[in-house]
Amino acid sequence: MNNTLQESNIILNVASEDKQSAIRRVGNKLVENGYVEAPYVEGMFAREESMTTYIGNGVAIPHSMPEYVQHIVKSGIVLAQYPDGVDFGNGNVAYLVIGIAGKGEEHMEVLSSIAIVCSEQENVDKLVHATTASEVIEVISQGESL
């Protein structure tokens, strides 16, 4: 997954915004960095409408519905850090919004790698308080090797 998460995919210290804007932000960054075509972002909104992508521990992982996978160019991850959080509804606040797109079989691999790293509150705390993109990559890389 290290090839998937680049410093250019990490957005630090984003001011709090609504859930739709946060999803649009990470989705548009996936488009901007060449991982997906624009329609994939619509699929991210459709996924959120059908079932929340908030996974707990202050983390949301927006991704698309299966019918939008043809818009994935290559696997990618975008991480947006929200020090003041984003309200994902039902009292769930995400401090990390991680947009993902996994090409083919890599989708579940990417999703599960991020979920494993973020299942440890200590890792989430480090990611929320990271001050550089390289710190974020280091935490995720170390978490993957657990």
Catalytic residue list contains 71: no
Q: Is the pTM of this model over 0.85?
A: yes
Give the chain's domains with CATH numbers: 7-144 (3.40.930.10)
Cα-flanking dihedrals φ and ψ of residue 142, to 5°?
A: -65, -40
Q: Determine the pLDDT at residue 3.
A: 62
pLDDT digits (tens, 9 = 90+) for 108-142: 888 888 889 999 999 999 999 999 999 999 998 88
Q: Which of 63, 71, 107, 129 is catalytic?
A: 63
Q: What's residue 146's pLDDT?
A: 47
